[in-house]
Amino acid sequence: MSNVQETIRKQVEDNPVILYMKGTPQFPECGFSMRTVQALDSCGVQYATVNVLENEGIRQGVKEFGNWPTIPQLYINGELVGGCDIIMELYQSGELKRQLQEAAGKVE
């Protein structure tokens, strides 16, 4: 496993919820990342982020790691949830909030 893949694996394992995105939650640098952040923020659960624009190795490596071609990518409890469209579907159905709260240990 390459160093980049090892770094990504460790990030995913160490964070119950982690979003690989373009930009930061405060300054998303693409519309898909912005919509994803808005959905996550409205669920009220903390999450880690990685700005893939700061590291080309991570930007390409995360696509290989999850076998998913696009950014953003959301991982919950080590599992790839998907990209913006899937995240928005889960958000609209209420499933995203449930999964996030479960990952954070805040099941209602």
CA gap 32, 13 in Å, rounded: 24
Q: Is 28 helix (H, G, I), strand (E, B) or coil?
A: strand
Has 43 been labeled as part of a binding site?
no
* Helices 31-42 and 84-93, axial angle in degrees (round to 10): 30
Residue numbers in the known binding site are 30
Instruction: Return binding residues for [2Fe-2S] cluster.
Output: 30
